[in-house]
Structure 1
């Protein structure tokens, strides 16, 4: 039975938890710390924090938010957005992150992926991919919250990244993100087929049937934001639907 992790995704801008559509038109949701604790207590398998404007301003401001979360949360924490160097990775790890997701800086200098993997282990090095469909069955990797084209084919890029030492892929469909219209299943399928490392699908989760649709790809995890932030579905309900789809799910929740 395929095991599936349910990851709560929290996109951060300044002090606020925010949510957009296609990574744009951001709306403030609330205090990221309160939401992170709530999702942890509801049984999230991991937490994913993304600094949504970090690449724009060439910095990551999440260390204080991560420190607060790491004191109260006992599941893996992944941090992404504006991570550009080994020093940035070190800051995040010392703040309490277990993994770092790198997108923009990896496109600019792919050797960074190898450097991080060698120093901290492949399990720490997550490749962040913002994918946009450019033709049937073909996707291009974007950076800066889906704004900047890279010219890199997504499938070729993830293959290269894994060869360079990446231990996990965070795959965000910009086309589906925030739409509630379901995951980009063909995209996820191609990436899962191309690499042997765990893949997290992000962008588009809207209804229970979406879990069964994505499960068949061999994906390792799904990242959920919109459904949780607007209280459309609790984590327990999402996990029930995953079990109904024949998936192996961690069902215990932390003690209050």
Structure 2
């Protein structure tokens, strides 16, 4: 097990951070730049910002808050949500993002991953995979903010990402999102078997032991939102507990 990263996730809608359950029931949590600066000071290893707004006007507004975040950031941060072309990805990195996360557009056009990697380097290209367990017990990939069942098998899709040019996988369990009852460990193990890429696990963190279990299952990054935003668990507190449990983290 290599060094494990602790990563707060900030969903942004209309220039404000929000959080819900299973991608629904959103409530406001704060300002993107202010919250990002706080997480830097608290010892987060990285941040992930996901723009969940849908309109073109919000896309343009995104450039404003990304620039504001970049001005205060002292750790790497990723921006995702609605990126549909390599030009958009390049623009976000130009504004200060270290990495971009692509999801639905990569499902529609897998070659977008390679085009982004060609211009930015694979290390800057994260492919987000939102998945749910089907009635047959298999994990399927969903797009458009968890609303569209693509019918794609999660493990098969993840196995294709490294050859396509991705540098990292952001894996979210839609079923577990916001529930605080633990990551989907079976999903993480399935993804781990499918790829050698770093995996950031998302969806379900509620207690320190959940983070430790996800690392044991094969996650390289431990992403959470509400437990950090609403001060249920502090970053320093969590890292201290993880270190005590034998999980290698930067303290």
Do they superpose with TM above 0.5? Answer: yes
Give the equivalent residue in structure 2 for 1:195.
195
Spell out the pairing of 1:98-109 with structure 2 (5 A cutoff).
Answer: 98-109=98-109
CA distance in 2 between partners of 1:60 and 1:142 (Å): 25
Q: Does 1:115 align with 2:123?
A: no
| Alpha-carbon distance, 1:32 to partner | 1.8
Deviations 1:84-143 (A, max 9, x none): 001101110111011111001001111101111122111111001111111465111111
Give the equivalent residue in structure 2 for 1:20.
20
CA distance in 2 between partners of 1:58 and 1:102 (Å): 17
| Alpha-carbon distance, 1:17 to partner | 0.6
Q: Which moved more, 1:242-251 or 1:60-69?
A: 60-69
CA distance in 1 between partners of 2:87 and 2:55 (Å): 16
| Alpha-carbon distance, 1:60 to partner | 6.2
CA distance in 2 between partners of 1:230 and 1:152 (Å): 34
Give the equivalent residue in structure 1 for 2:150.
150
The runs of at least 4 consecutive aligned structure 1 residues that moved more than 4 Å come to: 55-58
SS in 1 for 2:165: coil
Spell out the pairing of 1:75-90 with structure 2 (5 A cutoff).
Answer: 75-90=75-90
Distance 1:149 1:59, change over 3 A: farther
Give the equivalent residue in structure 1 for 2:139.
139
Q: Does 1:129 align with 2:129?
A: yes
Distance 1:100 1:3, change over 3 A: same
Distance 1:60 1:123, change over 3 A: farther
CA distance in 2 between partners of 1:245 and 1:215 (Å): 11
| Alpha-carbon distance, 1:214 to partner | 1.0
Cα RMSD for the two superposed structures: 1.6
Distance 1:56 1:173, change over 3 A: farther
Give the equivalent residue in structure 2 for 1:46.
46
CA distance in 2 between partners of 1:146 and 1:238 (Å): 29
Give the equivalent residue in structure 2 for 1:254.
none
| Alpha-carbon distance, 1:62 to partner | 2.4
Distance 1:57 1:192, change over 3 A: farther
Give the equivalent residue in structure 2 for 1:248.
248
CA contact (8 A) 1:133 1:139 kept: yes
- Consecutive unaligned residues in structure 1, runs of 5 or more: 252-256
Deviations 1:38-85 (A, max 9, x none): 111101100100001248989464222221121221211100001000
SS in 1 for 2:217: coil
CA contact (8 A) 1:51 1:61 kept: no
Q: Which moved more, 1:232-241 or 1:176-185?
A: 232-241
Distance 1:175 1:155, change over 3 A: same
Aligned length: 251
Give the equivalent residue in structure 1 for 2:34.
34
